[in-house]
Amino acid sequence: MEEDCNHGMYTQGQNQPMDDAVLAQRARTDGDAFAELYCRHVPGVYRYHMAHTGNVKDAEDLTSQTFMAAMEGIRSFRGEGSFAAWIMGIAVRKKALFFRRRKLEAPLEAAEHIPTPGLSTDKAVFQLMQIESVSRSMRKISPDRAEALVLYFFGGLTSLEVSQVTGKSEAAVKMLLSRGLKDLRERTSLVLEVEP
Amino acid sequence: MKDDQIIAFAQLLDPEDERISALLQRVAAQTNVNHQFQIELELRLKKAYKPKGIVFTTSLAKLATTLASILALISLIFFVDWVIRPLMPQSKLASGNIVTPTMAYPEATPTPSEHLNKPSPTPNSTSYSWNGTTLYLQGTLPDSPAEANIYRLQPDQRATLDEAVALAGRFGIQGEVYRSAGDLPGTTDYVITDGKQWMSIRSDHYFTYYADYPNSQVLSGVEINAAEAAANIKAFLKSHGFNFEYKIDSTDMWGKYYITPLTPDGFAVHIEDLRPSGLLITLDDSGQVASVQANLVDYQPIGTYAIRTAQEAWKTLLDTGIQAGKLEWFSSPSGPTREWLRNYPMNQTETIYSYVSSIPSAEAGKTPLIMVGMYMASGNITGLDKVPSNTLVEATGQFVTDGGITKFKVDSWKVTPLTEDGIEGTLELVNGQVTLSAQEGNFQLADVPADIPLPFENAFVAGVRLGNIYDWTSIDNRGGPGGGGGGGGGGLGFYKINFSGTPVPLPTPVPTALPPGQQPTGQKIEGQRGLLRVTIYKQSDGSQRVEYALAPWNGTGSFSYMILEGDLQSLQAYQNRPVDIWGSVDHFNQDGTPVVKVDRYEVPFPDLQFQILKGTQKNVQLAGQPATLFTTDAGRTYVQQTPGGTVDRSEIGHEGDLVLIEALVIPSESLGGYQVLVVFSAQMAVSPKSGQPSELTITADQPYVMEKPQTSAAVTIPPTATVEKVELVYFVSNPQFATGTNTGYPYLQPAWRFYGHYSNGDEFEVLIQALPNEYLLPELAPFISPG
């Protein structure tokens, strides 16, 4: 949510969910409002999908699906929680569907080697390698913990929002985050792979 | 990413975890959307935007069930993941002095227990304060043996092809052998199937069996009588050569039972996450074994050691200041889930949409296993093995019976551009046609099973959209009650064992900070200044509830947000204005937010008015931190602050662009010599799209209005916890996912296990290291988390 969107409706104090809620209400009848929400949340949604899929093609596809679904269902957002948590819930669902069929039909190794078009610079390739390492590492730890970590660090949610998306208490989410970090440190070579 | 949030979280971390936290933060920050893609998607969204679209009647409950559906789906995926990966071979266990679960002990009488899928009653007994809740102990603590064993874990040996075939033979599978990706990187497991029964085999310790693979995802939701379940399981184990001594326990996972082998001294072995080492058996709705997932450990005795009593362990459990020597888990129960799979008529030509997979043969020169969905494919399958996995195909053919096995005989196939998705909605009869009514639209479904009760709310339907036809493959009720499966853990882990015979002092436990929501109440709030937040919740019955809250500025740092209670009606006119309050923390609501009983309040600037200011922004370093200055077109410069009281580093457009902001100028607040400007909204003064001057109106002075009934912010009573079972077990960190770089800790050591439920139905387990300090080293044993 930290990007400047320049849609002329940018609201500051972004960590205040109500601001998004107002926009979401306007977005029912105002395409610019939805565009503003899109602009704010596309980085988090994309990062979330990148962290899980590890490749650009799938992340872009899932990001598209997430926002298309969000637009179709924008009227269902009533502001009970933050918009970020709401749209990330959609992202979780889209990701779940994606992995559901992949899990049944394809070995993970194959999934990891789907080519990633559109990146040509060394920097981009390096960054892609990093996110691929993250994605691989997340698959090696408890799914609950991985989900909490990805929602928190890549989706940009607060622990409270993660709790709203995952249906767990905030205390439980913090425990999952703490345990997840420990898992990544102890059970994966993520630090060795990603540290500069 | 919210930097202050990350920093706050990092402060809670083990210093070693801060590094990986920072690493994740950095990778996330560097993971940026391709600009071209972002623009194109925005254009697609705008093109697809329909402001006058159908108004859906989705409610909060619907949203909640959607999230529940998501969680349930995730749980299913993880379940399927766990279930499909492991494989197994013929037992080659008991050898030499190695203690193994197979064939080592006479068969014992299984001890089935009642299904625990409901909150346990709170016993009328002594209560204890524990982890911010009230803990009850059901019954009394057991007598403790004076001694227990320590066992050394034996490494798992991967199955050979012959061993895999032999193990499958025990289950009556006479099929071809294939190789699929294993559960650890770089490994492969065996798959043996006849098209109906299916086994994945890593070793004789780790394997998975399905009695009816094509229907293995079907969740009947039927609860089997405990005695009948135990009898069926016992008969199954006996007929399949599992002759070890074991006990049977029902689980909080619907329809699943743990079969736990016992050690020579008669105790269960437990691994992480409320799981014993053993067999996890799922029964179908007729009570027969539908699947078996094996997680068995092999071990050998090292010696016998004195242990702590159950009473001593109980004291350790209650002392939340002690985190080492302790492991805690909790999990939400899964309710009854019902799933229906599409049943196609036999011997009739059908066109289906399904994913194709190809699993290579384990034997050179043999053909791979081609699966269309969950069915073996035959007929015109030329080229299907070349189709990349995870490809959806449109296949025309017939479901046929071949040697008692249902297969899909392919007439023709092609890769389809369509995609499978899942829709949650209500299945109902509309003009005699079963229709799925959902946010995505209304879809007609064919061949819906007659036993689906209509209308069927919260249905989750997977399939392919063909216009207004939904070519469905599965229907389930995971969007409704049920789901569950979430959980977490606590405790730092067990100490390493001191085999030297010379005691080593252990560190004195340091009390740990209580998590939010579990902090003591009564904390005084003295003149806390912050921004008032007034929210009006409109109830469905026409009534409304007004909630007052404060976002503190420069306060004690204890709370970032607090809900206010008291006689506060006159504050309603001061939305988003600074207020000073005096009072005390009365309780914490279910979100852990403190609820403050306000004794008195003051509005320090009653005449403060919102302004629309035009000017430019500039990013600077101020008082050692990044900040944004705003200079009005009249030449006055302020420092921006968020409504939450933190320095606002936001910038609209590019530095120097003319912007409009909706703000409050706070008379007495300053930073770095600049007066504070609390910014509520902002936009470019000239629309970057139209080039026309834009307008900004004041809205921050109005209370937020929420049309949906909200959960009351009144007192939320945390669930109580009841320990229902106390037993001595052996603990070993789950070796299933041990890798070359983390082999875990190779000992099975005694632990006191306290198992029970919270009053909300969550189950929990606390393991307390049973070895006394003289047998421990001041170093935590490596820990392997479940994969």
Amino acid B414: pLDDT? 94
CATH class of A17-194: mainly alpha
Lowest-confidence range among B43-52, B392-401, B550-559, B741-750?
Answer: B550-559
**From residue B248, how far is each of B180, B257, B261, B767 by CA, in Å?**
31, 7, 9, 20
Look over chain B and give the mean of its residue pLDDT values, rounded to a whole number.
77
Tokens of B553: 């500025």
Amino acid B280: pLDDT? 92
Looking at the predicted structure, is the pLDDT value of residue B78 above 70? Answer: no
Residue A144 with chain B: CB contacts under 8 Å = 486-488
Looking at the predicted structure, is the pLDDT value of residue B264 above 80? Answer: yes
* pLDDT tens digit sequence for B286-298: 889 999 999 999 9
- Residue in this structure with the two tokens 């369509």, named with its chain if needed: B418
Higher local confidence (pLDDT), A170 or B659: B659
Alpha carbon of A120: minimum distance to chain B alpha carbons (Å): 12
Amino acid B357: pLDDT? 83
Cβ <8 Å between B785 and A179: yes
Highest mean pLDDT among A96-105, B29-38, B192-201: B192-201
* pLDDT tens digit sequence for B147-185: 999 999 998 899 999 999 999 999 999 889 999 877 666
The secondary structure of chain A as a DSSP string is: --S---SS---S-TT-HHHHHHHHHHTTT-HHHHHHHHHHHHHHHHHHHHHHH-SHHHHHHHHHHHHHHHHHTGGG--SSS-HHHHHHHHHHHHHHHHHHHHHHHS-HHHHHT---TT--SHHHHHHHHHHHHHHHHHHTS-HHHHHHHIIIIIS---HHHHHHHHTS-HHHHHHHHHHHHHHHHHH--HHHHH--
- CA separation for the pair B117, B787 (Å, rounded): 25
Phi, psi dihedral angles at B403 (to 5 degrees): 65, 35
Q: Is B773 helix (H, G, I), strand (E, B) or coil?
A: helix
Cβ <8 Å between B30 and A31: no
* pLDDT tens digit sequence for B611-644: 999 999 888 888 777 788 999 999 999 998 877 6
- CA separation for the pair B293, B271 (Å, rounded): 15
Query: CB of B647 within 8 A of CB of B671?
Result: yes
How does residue A132 score in pLDDT terms, banded at 50, 70 and 90?
confident
A:152-191 residues touching chain B, CB 8 A cutoff: 152-154, 156, 158-160, 164-179, 181-187, 189-191
Amino acid A5: pLDDT? 54
Amino acid A190: pLDDT? 66
Amino acid B83: pLDDT? 29
Cβ <8 Å between B45 and A34: yes
- CA separation for the pair B736, B153 (Å, rounded): 12
Cβ <8 Å between A12 and B33: no
Q: Which residue of B has its CA nearest to A29?
A: B51
Higher local confidence (pLDDT), B315 or B107: B315
Lowest-confidence range among B293-307, B339-353, B392-406, B654-668?
Answer: B654-668
How does residue B739 score in pLDDT terms, banded at 50, 70 and 90?
low
Alpha carbon of B506: minimum distance to chain A alpha carbons (Å): 22
Alpha carbon of B390: minimum distance to chain A alpha carbons (Å): 5
Tokens of B453: 């009760």
How does residue B510 score in pLDDT terms, banded at 50, 70 and 90?
very low
Higher local confidence (pLDDT), B77 or B681: B681
- Count A/B contacts: CB-CB distance under 8 Å: 322
**From residue A168, how far is each of A113, B182, B396 by CA, in Å?**
33, 31, 44
Amino acid B558: pLDDT? 53
Region B226-234: what's the mean pLDDT? 91
- CA separation for the pair B475, A62 (Å, rounded): 23
Phi, psi dihedral angles at B761 (to 5 degrees): 100, -15
- CA separation for the pair A95, B284 (Å, rounded): 29
Question: What single-letter amino acid sits at B354?
Answer: S
Do B339-415 and B611-700 agree at the fold level?
yes
The pTM for the full model equals: 0.55
Looking at the predicted structure, is the pLDDT value of residue B474 above 70? Answer: yes
Region B573-591: what's the mean pLDDT? 84
Residue A111 with chain B: CB contacts under 8 Å = 390
- CA separation for the pair A183, A162 (Å, rounded): 19
Q: Which residue of A has its CA nearest to B642?
A: A13
Cβ <8 Å between B679 and A12: yes
Query: CB of B469 within 8 A of CB of B434?
Result: no
B:538-577 residues touching chain A, CB 8 A cutoff: 551
Lowest-confidence range among A129-133, A154-158, B96-100?
Answer: B96-100
Residue A176 with chain B: CB contacts under 8 Å = 488
Cβ <8 Å between B73 and A184: no
Region B655-679: what's the mean pLDDT? 86
Q: Which of B49, B63, B652 sits opposite A80 (nearest CB)?
A: B63
Lowest-confidence range among A179-183, B121-125, B601-605?
Answer: B121-125
**From residue A107, how far is each of A14, A101, A167, B261 by CA, in Å?**
40, 11, 29, 32
How does residue B671 score in pLDDT terms, banded at 50, 70 and 90?
confident
Alpha carbon of B239: minimum distance to chain A alpha carbons (Å): 30
Q: Which residue of B has its CA nearest to A44?
A: B1
Q: Are strands B721-731 and B269-270 parallel, antiparallel or unpaired?
A: parallel
Best interface-test mutation with A: which of B4, B58, B63, B647 has the largest number of A CBs within 10 A?
B63
Amino acid B559: pLDDT? 61
A:33-92 residues touching chain B, CB 8 A cutoff: 34-35, 38-39, 42-43, 46-47, 50-51, 56, 60, 63-65, 67-69, 71-73, 75-80, 86, 89, 92
SS3 string of B125-142?
A: CCEEEECCEEEEECCCCC
Does residue B133 belong to the interface with chain A, where contact is any CB pair within 8 Å?
A: no
Looking at the predicted structure, is the pLDDT value of residue B119 above 60? Answer: no
How does residue A11 score in pLDDT terms, banded at 50, 70 and 90?
very low
Query: CB of B663 within 8 A of CB of B576?
Result: no
Higher local confidence (pLDDT), A153 or B585: A153
Cβ <8 Å between A6 and B653: yes
The matching CATH number, chosen from 3.40.50.300, 3.30.70.260, 3.40.50.10310, 2.40.50.430, for B339-415 is: 2.40.50.430
How does residue B748 score in pLDDT terms, banded at 50, 70 and 90?
very high
Alpha carbon of A128: minimum distance to chain B alpha carbons (Å): 8
Does residue B389 belong to the interface with chain A, where contact is any CB pair within 8 Å?
A: yes
Query: CB of B753 within 8 A of CB of B728?
Result: yes
Cβ <8 Å between B34 and A60: yes
Q: Which of B67, B592, B642 sits opposite A15 (nearest CB)?
A: B642
How does residue A18 score in pLDDT terms, banded at 50, 70 and 90?
very low
Amino acid A180: pLDDT? 81
How does residue B219 score in pLDDT terms, banded at 50, 70 and 90?
low
B:66-105 residues touching chain A, CB 8 A cutoff: 66-71, 73-74, 76-78, 80-81, 84
Looking at the predicted structure, is the pLDDT value of residue B32 above 50? Answer: yes
Amino acid B67: pLDDT? 34
Region B204-219: what's the mean pLDDT? 83
| B332 DSSP assignment | P
Amino acid B419: pLDDT? 72
B740 Cβ contact list (under 8 Å, min separation 6): none
Cβ <8 Å between A10 and B682: yes
Domains of chain A: which residue ranges? 17-194
**From residue A42, how far is each of A10, A29, B2 by CA, in Å?**
14, 20, 15
* pLDDT tens digit sequence for B675-702: 999 888 777 787 655 677 888 888 888 8
Cβ <8 Å between B2 and A104: no
- CA separation for the pair B487, A168 (Å, rounded): 7
Looking at the predicted structure, is the pLDDT value of residue A97 above 50? Answer: yes
Query: CB of B331 within 8 A of CB of B763?
Result: yes
* pLDDT tens digit sequence for B705-716: 765 543 433 334
Domains of chain B: which residue ranges? 84-330, 339-415, 420-476, 611-700
Q: First CA to last CA across chain B, in angstroms? A: 27
Region B260-273: what's the mean pLDDT? 91
Amino acid B600: pLDDT? 94
Residue B291's CB: how many other CB atoms inside 10 A?
20
Highest mean pLDDT among A151-165, B49-63, B721-735: B721-735
Amino acid B614: pLDDT? 93
Lowest-confidence range among B84-98, B387-401, B585-599?
Answer: B84-98
Region B507-525: what's the mean pLDDT? 58
How does residue B2 score in pLDDT terms, banded at 50, 70 and 90?
very low
Does residue A129 belong to the interface with chain B, where contact is any CB pair within 8 Å?
A: no
Amino acid A112: pLDDT? 34
Cβ <8 Å between A110 and B786: no
Phi, psi dihedral angles at B265 (to 5 degrees): -90, 10
Query: CB of B708 within 8 A of CB of B744?
Result: no
Region B102-123: what's the mean pLDDT? 36
- Residue in this structure with the two tokens 């970590």, named with its chain if needed: A149
Looking at the predicted structure, is the pLDDT value of residue B56 above 70? Answer: no
Amino acid B706: pLDDT? 66
Query: CB of A24 within 8 A of CB of A74?
Result: yes
Does residue B532 belong to the interface with chain A, where contact is any CB pair within 8 Å?
A: no
Q: Is B321 helix (H, G, I), strand (E, B) or coil?
A: coil
Which of A34, A25, A4, A2 lies closest to A15, judged by CA? A2
Amino acid B458: pLDDT? 77
Determine the CATH number of domain B611-700: 2.40.50
Q: Which of B16, B56, B786 sits opposite A185 (nearest CB)?
A: B16
**From residue B95, how far is each of A135, B168, B299 by CA, in Å?**
41, 21, 11
Residues written for chain B: 787
Q: Which residue of A has its CA nearest to B373?
A: A105
Q: Which of B13, B640, B680 sits opposite A178 (nearest CB)?
A: B13
Residue percentage of chain B with pLDDT more than 70: 75
The secondary structure of B611-674 as a DSSP string is: EEEEEEEEEEEETTEEEEEEEETTS-EEEEE-TTSSBP----SSTT-EEEEEEEEEEEEEETTE
How does residue B216 score in pLDDT terms, banded at 50, 70 and 90?
confident
ω into B511 cis (within 30 of 0): no
Lowest-confidence range among A61-70, B497-506, B683-692?
Answer: B683-692
Alpha carbon of B370: minimum distance to chain A alpha carbons (Å): 11
Does residue B386 belong to the interface with chain A, where contact is any CB pair within 8 Å?
A: no
Tokens of A182: 């420990």
Higher local confidence (pLDDT), B285 or A172: B285
Q: Is B24 helix (H, G, I), strand (E, B) or coil?
A: helix
